[in-house]
Amino acid sequence: MLGQFSIMIQKIIFADLLCWFCLVFIIIIGFTSAFYIMYQILEPEDNPFLNDFAMMLYSAIEMMMGLTDLQIPTDTSFPLLYIAYSVYMVFVYLLLLNMLIAMMDNTYWRIAQEREELWKIQVAATILLIERHVPRILKVRTGIPGSSLGLDDKKWYIGVEEILNENEAEKMKLPVALKYVLEWCS
């Protein structure tokens, strides 16, 4: 079960969070620029710590997380600042965080349906990785050389037998025992 959750966490981090962070970064830069320009129109001496763009960016990130409010001077009659702050809080704090939750939920249910296949792929990849690190002297050559099959001389092949139920064989109109030749990595 742990391997399936690690696959899910990887997909959430590299697919959902990466896209979400790019979108949030663009939106925060845009709103930070708007707040910075609006504060420059007001008297900058009232809030000296918001005169710098970097401090305004830090304040916008804090506002996105709900840690602080925008420090608007009480004697201002500049309604655009209130409107921009309201739009920012609704758009970033509510909509984008809910969008992240929905994206992660979608990934969870998509991975939950594919978890068995993903687990088998992960186990196979781990086995192949371990096999690559085994010294050549410890490897035993198994299978059939390609020259005896009339195929590539450098490659070795292994035969795999698949046994079907009688019902499946009748549906497919194939014999009960089938032999497939798969390429064996040399």
pLDDT, one tens digit per residue, over 44-84 is: 666 666 778 888 888 888 888 878 777 776 666 677 888 88
Rounded to two decimals, the pTM is 0.58
Question: Do residues 186 and 154 touch, judged by C-beta distance below 8 A?
Answer: yes
Q: Tens of pLDDT along 97-118?
A: 899 999 999 988 888 888 778 7
The sheet carrying 177-184 orders its strands as 144-145, 156-163, 177-184
Which residue type sits at 126? T
Rounded CA gap, 55 and 61, in Å? 10
Query: Distance (Å, rounded) from C-alpha 95 to C-alpha 185?
Result: 50
Amino acid at site 54: A
Residue 18 one-letter amino acid: L
